[in-house]
Amino acid sequence: GESVGLHLPTLSVQEGDNSIINCAYSNSASDYFIWYKQESGKGPQFIIDIRSNMDKRQGQRVTVLLNKTVKHLSLQIAATQPGDSAVYFCAAPEGAGNMLTFGGGTRLMVKP
Amino acid sequence: DAGITQSPRYKITETGRQVTLMCHQTWSHSYMFWYRQDLGHGLRLIYYSAAADITDKGEVPDGYVVSRSKTENFPLTLESATRSQTSVYFCASSESGHPYEQYFGPGTRLTVT
């Protein structure tokens, strides 16, 4: 079964607000997590990753938080822009050959 | 053009036909992957390759065949297409030191009638 999963299939935010996309995982041995962004009609694009020895990692306008106690990670997007509209996937290595298993995805819609 | 390309972008085929989806990358990445994306299932790994002449099954390999005679190419063949293989197929590649930081192609939308 799926070991990474997103909490909400759709998230709607106002332009300029912060967005928070959540993901839960079940395998406590998971030591690496990745977020991908997929715009309509395109392939997924790597955003940011985090190792289990970290609680937080920041990129450009994005922050990933990892809570190993409750096996939860989140992707925070600051000052959400229309170009952030996409489906966001969390992923972790496991399964066949320890390759990536993707969660179901959350669609982020940005209202002008 | 540099990057990762897939062809064809769209394909309609009939049940029972053999069809090959092509994937080409110009980065000389060691790893290459094939995923399928379906509503309700997200992205699922079909096959992957760690290097030329090395391929391994992913989560959903049944009905598919891959080969990798050259580093830059990773074709996916459906030997006898079925309607359940109607999907969007993505190829991806990554460097050997960063297998999880994958670069995806634009996808091939395959319809099996």
Which chain A positions have a beta carbon within 8 Å of B27's beta carbon?
none
pLDDT at A97 over 90: no
How big is the CA angle at B4 (ends A2 and A3), to the nearest 5 degrees?
Answer: 10
Residue B66: predicted pLDDT: 98
The predicted-structure confidence for A32-55, as pLDDT tens digits, reads as follows 999 999 999 999 999 999 999 999
- Given 3.30.70.260, 2.30.40.10, 2.60.40.10, 2.160.10.10, which CATH number is that of B4-112? 2.60.40.10
pLDDT at A95 over 80: no
CA distance B12 to A62: 39
Domain boundaries, chain B: 4-112
Mean pLDDT for B48-55 is: 95
Q: How far is A53 from chain B (nearest CA, A)?
A: 17
Which chain A positions have a beta carbon within 8 Å of B101's beta carbon?
34, 46, 49
pLDDT at B93 over 80: yes
> Between B43, B48, B106, which is nearest A102 by CB?
B43
pLDDT band, very low/low/confident/very high, at A7 (cuts 50, 70, 90) = low
- CB < 8 Å from B in window 18-77 of A: 32, 34, 41-46, 49
The predicted-structure confidence for B65-87, as pLDDT tens digits, reads as follows 999 999 999 999 999 999 999 99
| Nearest C-alpha neighbor of B37 from the set B85, B94, B101 | B85
**What fold, for A4-111?**
Immunoglobulin-like (2.60.40)
pLDDT at A4 over 80: no
Residue A1: predicted pLDDT: 42
The predicted-structure confidence for A67-92, as pLDDT tens digits, reads as follows 999 999 999 999 999 999 999 999 99
Please check whether residue A76 is in contact with residue A90, taking contact to mean a CB–CB distance below 8 angstroms: no
Distances (CA, A) of B97 to A25, A106, B89: 24, 28, 25
